[in-house]
């Protein structure tokens, strides 16, 4: 490679060295530890707030359950008609579905399949069947 007059040839500088990687790793570990600590505090605060029964939530739950009862009676009345109106049946079913979601959330029940049962909640194997290893 020809040299230019007056130009010094510089050695390539590595972007990452073992020292820079070590420093970046330590910085990342510190950040992750700080985020985990903050998330733990946040989870604890949310759990404390969730444990306190809200007067609004309980009154809202009562109203939603009353509305569900009204919709059930309207649905039954519509089904007993000689010719039920399919549009009205769909509207009532949709309203009942939306209210059931609100009722499930306010009552504190999780979605089906969103929580795994613990080891203690697992049913005991029936006698005579092989036990899983």
Contact 70, 80 (CB under 8 A): no
Q: What is the pLDDT of residue 18?
A: 84
Q: What is the pLDDT of residue 3?
A: 54
Q: What is the pLDDT of residue 100?
A: 94
Tokens of 103: 């009722």
Q: What is the pLDDT of residue 123?
A: 56
* CA angle 17–20–21, rounded 5-degree value: 80
Q: What is the pLDDT of residue 129?
A: 46
- Of residues 27 and 123, the one with the higher pLDDT is 27
């Amino acid at each position: 490679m020809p040299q230019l007059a007056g130009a010094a040839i510089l050695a390539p500088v590595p972007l990452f060295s073992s020292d820079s990687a070590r420093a970046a790793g330590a910085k990342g570990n510190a950040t992750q530890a700080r985020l985990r600590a903050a998330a733990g505090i946040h989870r604890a605060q949310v759990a404390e707030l969730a444990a306190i029964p809200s007067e609004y939530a309980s009154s809202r739950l009562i109203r939603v359950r009353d509305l569900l009862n009204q919709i059930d009676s309207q649905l039954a009345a519509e089904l007993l008609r000689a010719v039920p109106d399919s549009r009205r049946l769909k509207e009532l079913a949709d309203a009942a579905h939306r209210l059931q979601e609100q009722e499930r959330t306010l009552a504190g029940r999780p979605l089906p399949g969103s929580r795994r049962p613990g080891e203690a909640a697992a049913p005991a194997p029936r006698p005579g069947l092989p036990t899983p290893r």
